[in-house]
Chain A
Amino acid sequence: MSAFHFDSLVWHWPIAIYLFLAGVSAGAMFFAVLLKHACLKDQAYRSGFVQAACIVAPIAVLAGLGILVLDLTKPFEFWKILVFYNPTSVMSLGVVVLMIYQVFMYAWIAITFRKPIEDWCRPRFAFITKLSEKLATYEASVTGLLIIFSVALGAYTGFLLSAQPRFPMLNNPVLPLLFLASGLSSGAASALLGGVLLKGNPTGKEVQFIHKVEIPLILGEIFLVFTFFAGLILSGGQSKMAAFTAIGEGFWGWVFWFGIMGLGLSAPLAMNLFMTATSKRKFSYVAGTACLSLLGVILLRNFILYTGQMTVS
């Protein structure tokens, strides 16, 4: 069986990229909120890391949607997904989540960057400052709902694949949790990478904070990967077959063991532990670690998507 072409393959890599980008967006917003509330408070808008997250999140979610639309056989009729709904369809629910998520995402960004926005608008469009004042009074609700919807979006990327009976490896209750965890860590990585590129301080408290959260997150991911495959193997039958096809010998086996477990999870874990223990944080360390995490998540999405479609029940 070739790694990228086989009979039962329906969804190709654009879907994996879409799932990746949706996860990055959800994770970036999640960490932006955490950073603001746990360490930066009103000064959040000055932080390169929060700025990076707030740039990455909208771009990623829009790019992801763009890829999804281009991948339709009728891209010009994508609006029908917005007009017609099917409550039993995870894709349909996901579209609702994506739309609501974006509303709170923009609202939260506007609240967080209220000061620079107002300073810029005051001499020009005074009415905007009124609007933003009004919006700011809802900060607590906007933040709470943004967190809920970013978690929902992260989990949705997994539910999209698990909500069908045909492929036993994808039809797996751990998948949404795994994709949520890896989506959050890809968001953290993109905030770190974007932050240091925007001249954020690699020894700043934001980096320390994210690293503190990332270590248990990566451990959690490793545990979820283990549960995912252990569950499949213990289920026996086609599930077991699917697991061995995926992580056994061959191209995707390499991707899994070397790319995902090695470069994507173990290496960033080691680097994070090292940086936390020694407090040696340099631009290159932070950026390199973040790149490895992002690579790992892209590989994980493709690995699950392709190997998941190899074995039918």
Chain B
Amino acid sequence: MENSRRDFLRRTCALVAGVSVSPFAVNGTTDAETEQAIKYAIVHDETKCIGCNACVEACRETNHVPEGVTRLSIERKGSYGEYPNQYYHFTRHSCEHCEDAPCVNVCPTGAAYIDKKTGIVSVHADKCVGCQYCLLACPYEIRFINPVTKAADKCDFCKETNLKQGKQPACVEACPTNALVFGNLKDPDSLIVATLKANSTQRNKQDLGTRPKLFRITAKPGEITL
């Protein structure tokens, strides 16, 4: 993981420039990319997260995720520091909605796909045969086989539930500290774009070329790992 602030700024600038001049400009991006009006992403602010797991429970309820599997988990590391100033480090594990998604590239039937309109990586449960190639390929290890549908399953930004009803994703709504920000990267006035501009963020395993869309505002790590 490397600090991606500069990278992010460059991207945002390019994004803003791209959006503002796109009606006139012939720039490097493809038609589909310039036309796409929505590109959803999520930010997890680890400095605000208290590890209450409200997001996990809300996701389970809203998306009818069976017991024993989950689309989302909060990993707790620690505790660090001396009493009474002890603290933990929390990391969100959920689909990172990769721009270049290994799960989509390997799926033999096209069941794993990227929704063209929103950039959401999702699964057609009917098309999935359960070969588990996507579970093998996902570098973030967040896919699972749904024991009810027997299909591969994962976070879809509540595409079939809350988003359809015009609401924010369940985990975002449930968070008591507003540690989660969800929104459209292509909308320069959105809260997520403002949040990403105002903070330095990291994305996991960027060296694999997956270009994930789960951004993390990192908290102090508590330990030194080499």
Instruction: List residues of chain A with CB under 8 Å of any chain B CB.
Output: 8, 10-11, 71-74, 77-78, 80-81, 83-86, 88-92, 95, 163-167, 309, 312-313
Contact = CB atoms under 8 A, between A and B. Distances in A.
B58 interface: no
B102 A73 contact: no
Nearest to B141: A8
Contacts of A83: 109
Interface string B129-152: 111110111110100010000110
A86 B106 CA distance: 8
Interface residues of B, number: 29
Contacts of A84: 108-111, 127
B131 A91 contact: yes
Given A89-B107, A165-B137, A313-B208, 5 more contacts: A72-B129, A73-B129, A164-B106, A164-B133, A166-B136
Contact of A91 (B108, B138, B209): B108
Contacts of A11: 132, 136
Contacts of B106: 88-91, 163-164
A158 B3 CA distance: 35
7 contacts: A73-B150, A84-B127, A85-B108, A86-B108, A86-B109, A166-B139, A312-B139
Given A73-B150, A165-B208, A89 B105 contact: yes
B151 A74 contact: yes
Interface string B103-132: 011111111000000000000000111111
A212 to B, nearest CB: 39
Nearest to A68: B131
Contacts of A313: 139, 205, 208
B103 to A, nearest CB: 9
Contacts of A312: 139, 141
A81 B108 contact: yes
A78 B109 CA distance: 10
Looking at A73, A78, A83, A312, the one whose CB has the most chain B CB atoms below 10 A away is A73
Contact of A164 (B102, B109, B130): B102
B160 to A, nearest CB: 20
Contacts, number: 88
B108 A165 contact: no
A81 to B, nearest CB: 5
B53 interface: no
Contacts of A74: 128-130, 150-151
B26 to A, nearest CB: 28
A222 B139 CA distance: 30
Contact of B130 (A73, A88, A91, A167): A73
Contacts of B208: 165-166, 313
Contacts of A77: 129-130
A287 B127 CA distance: 45
B130 A72 contact: yes
Nearest to A166: B139
